Amino acid sequence: MNDDRAIKITKTLTLKYEKAFSSNSIVEKFRFIGDLLRSVEDSSQSMKNVFCMTNPLVDHKNTTKENAVSEIEKACIIFLKDMAKTGKQMLFKDSPCAEAQAYIGMVYELGVFGVKENHKKAYGYYTIAARQNNALGTFRLAQCFEKGIGKTKNNEKALTFYRCAAKLGLIEALHTFGSILIYGDLGCPRDPASGIFYLKLAANRSTSSYPYPYFDLARCFESDNAIKEIISDDRYAFNLYMKGARLGCYNCQYRVARCYEYGNLQNERDMEKAIYWYKKASQAGQIDAQLALSSLYFTGIDNVLEKDNSKAYIWALKAAVKGHTVAAFTVAEFVEAGIGVKKDKIHALWWYTIASVLGHASANSKIDELQRRVQQETKLGEGENFKSRCRLF
């Protein structure tokens, strides 16, 4: 899982924009817009959150930055609309007109670039692009049928369009269709051999913008996988994880870190390497890695990592705010005990309540225990408890 990749993107956003839009290359402009839209979708946030570089609870007004974002949004949507109108619709996959229509579909689906979210319009644009053999439009059309975006769910049609998009060579489609074949999703008969074939094609085309096929391919070759048709090879699996990690796949980075920490997949334990990869994955937003790094900072490791309670709290907090159950409970414990943060019972109760909502088994007993002490100190009204004052959702 990923948390704040958007912050990483905004640091280089202006430079990437200027490079792409100062050139005469249509390909560069499409690449910039594609990477930007994928980052928005991956973060599962609105455009406002994607471009937020400071604490949203604090009033930080930066007119220059807001104007820069507005300029980028305007330039992107104008370019896409111009490309969509340019020339006739052409029945080959590299048509700039079709590519623009597919991206406009994403704009409507995500509700970005100042455009109001409209799934029916998104579906319409994907359909137009797919009819021109556009790989992205075909892939997004498959997702519409799978998820019910602007159209009634239909697994059979979703599978058909995923297959078509994979045949057109789109890396996301190769990755998705390969996984479908391996596990028999969407009512598709299982075909692990063909699935591995497609995943390998996807991995071979992986880039830093889309390194994720390596993780799913590597999982298939681990000795404890549940795919009996595939001969396991732990060393090969680790090498695949490492390739993905070096390309920037945060799940691969987390898996590599665990291999070095616990000596998995035929590796010797090496805590220096483990910490290096935990940091890489954590910085990319992998929340399990963030919690692991928090634990390592809390305990410290002789001659390897200096104990640092402040960093332990911060990394746990980063994971907790994205809904990691154990991280939320850990933050509550840190706040209750004053570890790396100011000691505060009310603040701790708030986090225990969040952990309870997220399903942590021990949270309710901690709430009851701490609430009794808080009631004595804060004199809550009779019959009133802390949960009654919390309105989380």
Predicted confidence at residue 379, as pLDDT, reads 63
Taking the complete model, does pTM exceed 0.75, yes or no? yes
Q: Would you list the DSSP string of 15-54? A: HHHHHHHHSS-HHHHHHHHHHHHHHHHHHT--HHHHT--S
What confidence score (pLDDT) does residue 7 get? 31
Q: What is the 8-class DSSP label of residue 207?
A: B
Q: Which pLDDT score is estimated for 71?
A: 86
pLDDT digits (tens, 9 = 90+) for 251-280: 999 999 999 999 999 999 999 999 999 999
Residues in the chain: 393
Q: Are 215 and 256 in contact (CB under 8 A)?
A: no
According to the model, what pLDDT value does residue 378 have? Answer: 66
pLDDT at 382: 55
pLDDT at 14: 82
Average pLDDT, consecutive stretches of 10 residues, N- to C-terminus, the chain (393 residues) = 43 83 91 90 48 38 58 92 74 77 96 94 97 96 98 98 97 98 96 97 96 98 88 96 98 98 97 98 96 98 96 97 96 97 94 96 94 76 56 45
Q: How far apart are CA 196 and CA 191, in angstroms?
A: 9
Q: Which domains does the chain have, with CATH numbers?
A: 297-393 (1.25.40.10)
Interatomic CA distance for residues 328 and 334, integer angstroms: 10
